[in-house]
Chain A
Amino acid sequence: MKETPLSNCERRFLLRAIEEKKRLDGRQTYDYRNIRISFGTDYGCCIVELGKTRVLGQVSCELVSPKLNRATEGILFFNLELSQMAAPAFEPGRQSDLLVKLNRLLERCLRNSKCIDTESLCVVAGEKVWQIRVDLHLLNHDGNIIDAASIAAIVALCHFRRPDVSVQGDEVTLYAPEERDPVPLSIHHMPICVSFAFFQQGTYLLVDPHEREERVMDGLLVIAMNKHREICTLQSSGGIMLLKEQVLRCSKIAGVKVAEITELIQKALENDQKVRKEGGKFGFAESIANQRITAFKMEKAPVDTCDVEEKAEEIIAEAEPPAEVVSKPVLWTPGTAQIGEGVENSWGDPDDSEKEDDDEGGSDEAVIFDSIKMDTEIEVSNTGSQDAPIVLSDSEEEEMIILEPDKNPKKIRIQTINAKQEKAPSKRPVRKRKKKRAAN
């Protein structure tokens, strides 16, 4: 899609506003837009926001053989991409002039300034070196791509950790992050680009131009500097004549801005380190919910649990002991008895149990507790209890206690005891035999 053209009226308004030292977003001449740095879950991944301009930086590494003329140096590779997502005017898969210019500037700013110790990336001289690749993606374009990209690149490099390696003879061992902590790159200094836009043949100067200011500017001066006020790159484009004093003044401004930004970067890196140590979620990973687009979440209500035990004890102490349940035992058939209402199985399918109820009605002994029925059952149990010992004598291990009805409790108990006594001696020899077998 074609770029939205700039109308005459916008151009005129912008220039007049700049003459009056006013900017569209209310900034002063030397003000930067808000810079926000956030990190991803992986090392070496960050998003830098400069106002509405957003750049995603991702660093990756690989073991490769070095270049022939530099056998002991690692390789640095920078790649900035302008996707169509950033602005509809960017065409995918085509190297536009702007892209080439930006990539070249980034390389000069970061590689040629030797901010990264490439010799420390050497594993085996002439055979294996680390290749560090910095991928930068422009996510949204609102002017001043180069500043945002240079910040994103250096932040991602500072944040990156490469796997540890050890060399024993010819053997190179690569350690997973679980085995050995990954090592950070050795970075000597942090060069940061600062852009100055010139209007009316250099009469007016603005720091950090946004997209529409970039469109009406006459010339652009980019100064890459580190916090020691060493100029790493200086590039003037747009074909305007700058005076010596102007360049000097710009470099002074750049020094101040770079100091501010470097401090911000260091603070962001420290913050991230701290959060990582605590094991929380960090960076923009925080905003990614658990693979859900929308979530109707209930907020967790904080509950004070420090005095729960005391409270529970208090409640237990204060509460009255439960009333003793006096249950009338029922003996259904000889050998089985019931206390309370425990016969009914409440775990089954409700529908099924209902059906059963319907089918069998009151005839089933298990369901209905009529007083009349109780009486009859008790009678049954009385009669049945006399035969009980015979049934019981099955096994010694199963202790069966028959809870007797009111009438003749003693009798039954005696009978059961008798049964046990009678049965016991007959079983003992068998056991002994078993033991002997085991001994043999």
Chain B
Amino acid sequence: MAEAAAVAGESLGGGRARAARTVLGQVVLPGEELLLPEQEDADGPGGAGEQPLRLNAGARSRVRVVCGPGLRRCGDRLLVTKCGRLRHKEPSSGSGGGVYWVDSQQKRYVPVKGDHVIGIVTAKSGDTFKVDVGGSEPASLSYLAFEGATKRNRPNVQVGDLIYGQFVVANKDMEPEMVCIDSCGRANGMGVIGQDGLLFKVTLGLIRKLLAPDCEILQEVGKLYPLEIVFGMNGRIWVKAKTIQQTLILANILEACEHMTTEQRKQIFSRLAES
């Protein structure tokens, strides 16, 4: 811990670039510069193995590196644009590269292609719906983008309804577009969400935490009460249990999960299971 603090302190003071490998899982700050280990470097193990990332370097030493959210390529430098923990995922083929991203805490959602989100229908205009997803502008949703919808057979969607869908177009400065079918034309769980249940907002970090494959929270919640739940990557959760009381308890628990350690959570869950 002290070492990590010392490293962070040094970077803050000196403003020198740090090697990305050494700060994995540590906090990085906007404006920091990261160095990626260049593969097949001529310097070998003895020399300075780490040089600034050169995305346009010779084909010989080309390694595919993907900059995820919170990182930005600026010339041949790699800059941090968000505050959070640096994460890395090895590519399936192995041998260097992979995806780097910054796990940050924020509430503002920016549409990303392929994200599953919960939206609220705000208007019907012609053959599209306007859906509020929490981004800077509403997304558009064609009435044909539902399972089994044809020009004759319009889906029954009212203003104020909740929609669970997926982004197919999400570009900068452009209206994002949603659909409620997958590439095979199946609903696959998407569509209009039922009229009951509670919608509430949490931070984007919590959603990612809950949706992580190794997340225990959901299984523990499932043991408590039978429930229906939908997570939108835009920070919205829809939950429905048998009674209003149970729904409220679930919503409050999920919200509280963000700032609890595993032990605290287990304590609370066991106490709830008793009562």
Contacts and interface: CB of A to CB of B under 8 A. Distances in A.
Contacts of A296: 5-6, 8-9
Nearest to A11: B160
Question: Which residue, B138, B194, B244, has most C-beta atoms of chain A within 10 A?
Answer: B244
B248 A22 contact: yes
Nearest to A13: B198
Contacts of B122: 5
A4 B5 contact: no
Contact of A9 (B6, B134, B193, B252): B193
A263 to B, nearest CB: 29
B177 interface: no
B120 A5 contact: yes
Contacts of B194: 9
Interface string A374-397: 000000000000000000000000
A25 B200 CA distance: 12
A345 interface: no
Given A9-B193, A9-B196, A17 B132 contact: no
The A interface is mostly helix, strand or loop, or mixed, namely loop
Given A1-B136, A22-B248, A7 B196 contact: no
Given A1-B136, A296-B5, A8 B158 contact: yes
Given A6-B160, A9-B194, 15 more contacts: A4-B134, A5-B120, A7-B161, A8-B162, A8-B195, A9-B196, A9-B199, A10-B199, A12-B196, A13-B196, A13-B197, A17-B244, A24-B251, A25-B252, A294-B12
A2 B9 CA distance: 41
Contact of A13 (B6, B136, B138, B247): B247
Contacts of B195: 8-9, 12
Interface string A4-38: 11111111110011001010111000000000000
B248 A17 contact: yes
Q: Which bracket fits the contact residues of B? A: 20 to 34
A184 B198 CA distance: 49
Contacts of A4: 120, 132, 134
B248 A26 contact: yes
Contacts of A9: 161-162, 193-199, 238
B245 interface: yes
5 contacts: A4-B120, A5-B132, A8-B158, A24-B251, A296-B8
Interface residues of A, number: 21
Interface of A: 1-2, 4-13, 16-17, 20, 22, 24-26, 294, 296
A17 B252 CA distance: 14
A8 B198 contact: no
A22 B120 CA distance: 25
Nearest to B10: A296
Contact of B198 (A1, A2, A10, A25): A10
Nearest to A26: B252
Interface string B235-260: 00010000011011001100000000
Contact of A5 (B8, B136, B160, B245): B160
Contacts of B245: 20, 22
Contacts of B9: 296
A356 B5 CA distance: 42
Nearest to B4: A296
Which 8 A-B residue pairings sit nearest by Cβ, starting from the closest?
Answer: A8-B160, A296-B5, A7-B120, A13-B198, A296-B9, A5-B120, A10-B199, A17-B244
A160 B224 CA distance: 52
A16 B244 contact: yes
Nearest to A23: B248
Interface in B1-25: 5-6, 8-9, 12
A270 to B, nearest CB: 32
A21 B5 CA distance: 49
Question: Which residue, B9, B138, B198, B251, has most C-beta atoms of chain A within 10 A?
Answer: B198
A124 B136 CA distance: 55
B246 to A, nearest CB: 11
Contact of A7 (B134, B199, B251): B199
A10 B239 CA distance: 11
A296 B12 CA distance: 11
A198 B177 CA distance: 39
Contacts of A17: 244, 248
B244 A8 contact: no
A28 to B, nearest CB: 13
Given A26-B252, A296-B8, A13 B244 contact: yes
A106 to B, nearest CB: 29
Interface string B64-91: 0000000000000000000000000000
Nearest to A8: B160
B120 A20 contact: no
Contacts of A8: 158, 160-162, 195
A2 B137 CA distance: 8
Contacts of A25: 252
A8 B163 CA distance: 12
B179 to A, nearest CB: 20
Contacts of B198: 9-10, 13
